[in-house]
């Protein structure tokens, strides 16, 4: 295993900064002094084998679990000090399998993203509904607006929950394996959408070539620790991929010069 690597220092007061986040369960470090910087307005990919702490890191950032130590700042603001409502005005998360246990239409689900921006007893305004519909349109899901969420496919449901996150108007967008259940065309459309948003975004990904193409910055976790961070092509080297994933990797170029990883099992 490679030794932990210090990430590049973040720009002061810009983007996402995670400082030494540690979370232990029964003396086992799920997150071990995780320190990373995500560029403002850019896309940061969180990579690593199963069980490396990727999803736990996102859950810590969104406030779904309480780490034992560490800090995380967005544009210089300490997110830990915010109320749940104020935090929800700044960041939104799309989970792998967002629960939908009650009968709701697609529009109802997307309007939930407006909740942090409304006073406690107010109802949805025309502006809220217009923003919800615009979010669905950006995600290619406007035609689903009147459907019951329970009738949707996994891929359709994922697009709806992304639209709900966009309706939240976040400054930080967290996505946990967002391309799960999507066909290839839908995966590319979603990743292009996230890239074009101009919102500071953090994605957990398993597909290394997706990270290579769509991320501005990547962080590789192994056993809860950061082992590498930086520009995707600088980080995803054959040596690192063999050490972290146990695979043989080669970087090749397409006809238009784009780098692609060819992966094989290590013998």
- What average pLDDT does the segment 49-68 reach? 94
For tokens 């994922």, what's the residue?
A: 158
Q: Does position 2 have pLDDT exceeding 50, yes or no?
A: no
Torsion of CA 218, 220, 226, 229, to 10 degrees: -30
Query: Residue 127: CB partners within 8 Å, gap ≥ 6?
Result: none
Give domain 10-90+171-231's CATH number out of 3.40.50.2300, 3.55.50.30, 3.40.50.10490, 3.40.50.300: 3.40.50.300
Q: Is the pLDDT of residue 8 over 50?
A: no
227, 234 Cβ separation under 8 angstroms: no
pLDDT at 28: 92
Q: Sign (positive/negative) of CA torsion 188, 72, 67, 165? A: negative
Per-residue pLDDT of 148-167, as tens digits, reads: 999 998 888 888 999 999 99
124-150 pLDDT, tens digit each: 889 999 999 999 999 889 999 999 999
CA distances from 194 to 44, 134, 223, 259 (A): 11, 15, 28, 20
Predicted pLDDT of residue 120: 76
Question: 4 falls in which pLDDT band (50, 70, 90)?
Answer: very low
Please report, for the chain, how many H helices and E strands are present, in that order. 9, 12
Stretch 213-229: mean pLDDT, rounded?
97
Output the pTM of the full model: 0.89
Spans of all domains in the chain: 10-90+171-231, 101-169
**Distance from C-alpha of 68 to C-alpha of 155, rounded to nearest angstrom:** 35
Report the C-alpha gap between 201 and 44 in whole angstroms: 6
């Amino acid at each position: 295993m490679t030794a932990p690597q210090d990430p590049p220092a973040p720009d002061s007061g810009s983007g996402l900064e995670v400082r030494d986040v540690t979370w232990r369960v029964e003396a086992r470090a799920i997150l071990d002094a995780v320190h990373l910087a995500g560029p403002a307005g850019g896309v940061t990919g969180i990579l690593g084998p199963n069980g490396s702490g990727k999803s736990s890191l996102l859950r810590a950032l969104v406030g779904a679990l309480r780490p034992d130590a560490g800090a995380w700042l967005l544009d210089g603001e300490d997110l830990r000090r915010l109320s749940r409502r104020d935090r929800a005005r700044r960041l939104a998360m799309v989970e792998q399998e967002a629960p939908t246990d009650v009968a709701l239409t697609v529009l109802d689900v997307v309007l939930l993203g407006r909740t942090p921006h409304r006073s406690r007893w107010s109802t949805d305004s025309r502006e809220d509904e217009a923003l919800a519909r615009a979010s669905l349109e950006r995600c290619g899901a406007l035609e689903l607006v009147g459907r019951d969420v329970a009738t949707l496919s996994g891929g359709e449901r994922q697009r709806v929950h992304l639209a709900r996150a966009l309706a939240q108007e976040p400054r930080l967008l967290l996505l946990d394996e967002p391309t799960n259940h999507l066909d290839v065309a839908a995966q590319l459309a979603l990743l292009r959408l996230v890239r074009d948003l101009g919102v500071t975004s953090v994605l957990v990904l398993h597909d290394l070539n997706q990270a290579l193409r769509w991320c501005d910055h990547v962080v590789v976790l192994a056993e809860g620790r950061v082992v590498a961070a930086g520009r995707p092509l600088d980080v995803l080297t054959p040596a690192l991929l063999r050490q972290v994933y146990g695979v043989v990797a080669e970087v090749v170029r397409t006809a238009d010069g784009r780098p692609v990883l060819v992966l094989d099992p290590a013998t």
